[in-house]
Every structure is written in structure tokens, then in C-alpha cells.
Amino acid sequence: MLITAGHVIRFLERVAQIIHTHRDELTLLDANIGDADHGTNLDRGFAAVVSKLPTVADKDVGTILKTTGMTLISTVGGASGPLYGTAFIRAAGVLAGLETVNPEQLVAALEAALEGIQTRGKAQRGEKTMIDAIAPGIDVLQAAQGTDEPFLAVAERALAAVEAGMQATIPMLATKGRASYLGERSIGFQDPGATSSFYIAQALFTMLQEAAAQADAS
């Protein structure tokens, strides 16, 4: 399975679509424990990303992702813009100059993205953030490296781990970001960043399904 620049373009278009679809839900989640702007901010940011895609449609994967990250940082307010922007920029660094990406390179890019989020947000697992959704998914991808399991099957298990991680934020006490100001009142609410991370992971899995189907047909 190889992921092309075209696959990445369609992935980003899907992210924009799924964030737009769930914009109000994400904003409502953020209203419970944050500034009530997560959905609207991300919707604006990924709409800006989509508007930039025609300018990078003929570029390598790294350039597409770097442009995405820089656009998010410049257009998304709050913490989510710098965090997601950094994630895309770190992934871009791993994939710089590549016209196609194999599963091992994708996992390396996702690892770099997570590290970027942790560094930028000064957060770790268990603090009720997007990390609690993303990290379990990457754990699954890392554990399967070097095995004979088809990558799409691994990715499906990883998506389930992201979803479980998202749900696991509900009983957590927030110790990072605006939600941490609420103390124990943050318990019982699903983290909006973990939720948007799950939606982005869904779009990523759809991209992998597309790439796998094309590989099988060739």
C-alpha cells in the first residue's frame, strides 16, 4: 500500500467535511469545560486549509502537510490551532520530499506528530487532552510493526483504540488547558480535543481504505 499526494489531498478535504459536520457538537463539548469555540475554530481552520489545497496539489506530501500546519496555526484560535498545526508540521518534516508514503513512513510521521503535540502542549497521557485519544492509536500501530498483519487491519484496530481513548477522557480530571481551571467539575465530560482527534482519525482510516483498494486493483 502506498499513499500518494492525491490521497493526502482527499484526506484533508474529508477532515474539513467531518469537522464541519460535527462543528456544533465539538463546540458544545467545549462549552462544558472550555471556551465554547473548539468546533467553530477548527471548522474555520480546515476550511482555510481546503482553500489552500489547489496551490499545493502538485507538490510532495511533506509540502502539503507543512502548508496545512502553517495554515492552521495562522487561522485557528485557542490551543487547537498551534497543537494541530504543530502536529502537521512535524509530520511534514518526516515526509519531506516524498511523492508516496508507505505504512512505515506513515507511522513515523504520526509518531512525530504526537511528539509535537506533547512538546507544544507540555502534556502527557491522563491529563484529559487529545493525547489521550491519539497515543493509544499510535501504540497499536507501533506494536504491529514487523508483523504480517495487513496494515489496514492494524489501522482499523488503531482507530478503535483512538475511540476508546476519547471515551476514556470522560471520567478524567483535567490538569491541562482551560478545562483544568474547573478542577473536579471537569470530570464527567468528554474532551473536545480528543473528540476532534477521533474524527480526524476516521478520515485518515478512510484514506487508507482508499489506498488499499487501489493497491488491490492494480
Task: Please name each of the domains of the chain with its CATH number.
Answer: 3-217 (1.25.40.340)
> What's 184's DSSP letter?
G
Cβ neighbours of residue 193 under 8 Å, at least 6 residues apart? Answer: 38, 79, 80, 83, 129, 130, 133
Q: Which residue has the cell 457538537?
A: 25
> In this structure, are residues 117 and 87 in contact, taking their beta carbons and an 8 Å threshold?
yes
Axis-axis angle for helices 80-94, 61-75 (nearest 10):
170
Q: What pTM, to 2 d.p., does this model score?
A: 0.94
Q: pLDDT tens string for the chain (218 positions)?
A: 899 999 999 999 999 999 999 999 999 998 876 777 889 999 999 999 999 999 999 999 999 999 999 999 999 877 888 999 999 999 999 999 999 999 999 999 999 999 999 999 898 999 999 999 999 999 999 999 999 999 999 999 999 999 999 999 999 887 766 565 555 666 888 999 999 999 999 999 999 999 999 887 76
